[in-house]
Amino acid sequence: MKVVAPLKESMLDESKSEQVVADVHAVIDAEVGDKSGASGLALKGGYAAVKKVGPSIVPDAIEGLLPEFVEKLEPYWQEFAASGGASFADYLVANQEAVSDSLLGVTDSRIEGTDRAAVKKVYSSLRGSAKKHVAEALPRVGALVQKYAG
């Protein structure tokens, strides 16, 4: 079995952290921007409301959550690398149920611990459709991870 460096070595490297956070932010903005219909409108409104809480709330949240997301993605990355596949994005999509649940576990536990009522309210109103949105974002997430770790 091929040994691959842990994701934290590439994704959480201090020298790359500013760029990784900016790239994750760009992925979130693109995903929200692509949404349409009633649920898309709700998501866009919720995202705009969260951003109004403070201009740095999204980058700060990314920075704070990234280590946990990387930890959740690690077993998938290792399995993908061992498989010799070409695209981590395709691998994530093929395993979207488990991957989405893993990633949402991070935000669910964080939201439970926050004292920001506005953020909790927005999150709880959007949580029902979150798994679908996370699954739809996996191609971009996989490409981003592979950019830094591949």
Pairwise CA distance, residues 142 & 119, whole Å: 27
Number of domains comprising the chain: 1
Helical H runs in the chain? 7-11, 17-34, 37-53, 57-83, 88-94, 96-113, 117-149
The tokens for 60 are 């700060």
What are the distances in angstroms from CA 147 to CA 71, 114, 119, 125, 140? Answer: 17, 32, 30, 33, 10
* Residue range of the domain that includes 113: 15-149
Q: Is residue 6 part of a domain?
A: no
pLDDT one-digit tens code per residue, 19-76: 999 999 999 999 999 999 888 888 898 889 888 888 898 999 899 999 999 999 999 9
Q: Is residue 5 part of a domain?
A: no
Pairwise CA distance, residues 49 & 11, whole Å: 28
pTM of the model: 0.87
| SS3 state at 86 | coil
Q: Is residue 9 part of a domain?
A: no
pLDDT greater at residue 39 or residue 89:
89
The residues near 144 (Cβ < 8 Å, ≥ 6 apart) are 23, 24, 27
Q: Is residue 1 part of a domain?
A: no
Q: Is residue 123 part of a domain?
A: yes
Report the percentage of the chain scoring pLDDT > 90.
Answer: 65
The tokens for 118 are 């506005």
